[in-house]
Amino acid sequence: MPRKNRFAAAIGLCAALILLGAAVAVTAIPGAAWALDVGATAALENLTLVTDAKSAHPVEHVLHVEVMRTEEERERGLMERRFLPSDRGMLFQFDHVQTVLMWMKNTYIPLDMIFLSRGGVVTHIAENAEPMSEAIISSNGPAFGVLEVNAGFARKIGLKDGDLVRHDMFAR
């Protein structure tokens, strides 16, 4: 191999090793796949779901969520994402209480949509929303926010109407 080609090959190999090392380092960071996924840009915030909230033994489930506060953020949501870690979600905050209409257009991940009152009370749960569907999913009444989580999560933790969500966006 001519000297010029060996030099180019060595440079290419070094670049590939640097990229591989960076990829290994990034994937070692918890949640890195989420951060590298298409569209994941917002900082994560803690959110607590409280099941059996009215019982003597409520159970708390902590999630890390991206909060969509602007119209542009709400329009994009989880579109184009291919992965949602089991301890993550997306919280949509609206400007006022209203009937909320959602859809799954360009969303590859099956989701549960949890509709929430201004006070953080679960008012409706739409389980297992079909990926890529343009069917309208309604809050079936007034809502101030929507929490999207992986399909099956609400059932797994026993979430039901009347349970609570704790997050800074909800008045107490």
The reply to whether 25 and 79 lie within a common domain is no
Query: What digits encode the pLDDT tens for the residues 109-140?
Result: 999 999 999 999 999 999 999 999 999 999 99
The reply to whether 12 and 56 lie within a common domain is no
* 171 occurs within a structural domain: no
Number of domains in the chain: 2
Q: Which residue range(s) make up the domain with 24?
A: 1-30
The reply to whether 73 and 144 lie within a common domain is yes
The reply to whether 126 and 59 lie within a common domain is yes
What CATH number corresponds to the domain at position 85? 2.60.120.1140
Give the up-direction half-sphere exposure of residue 141: CA atoms within 13 A in the CB hemisphere: 12
Whole-prediction pTM: 0.77
Gap between the Cα atoms of 167 and 152, Å rounded: 22
The reply to whether 120 and 131 lie within a common domain is yes
* 72 occurs within a structural domain: yes
The reply to whether 155 and 102 lie within a common domain is yes
Tokens of 157: 């933790």
Query: What digits encode the pLDDT tens for the residues 12-51?
Result: 554 444 444 444 444 444 444 444 454 555 699 999 999 9
**76-101 residues labelled b (16+ CB within 10 A) or e (exposed):** bbbeebeebeebbbbbbbbeeeeebe
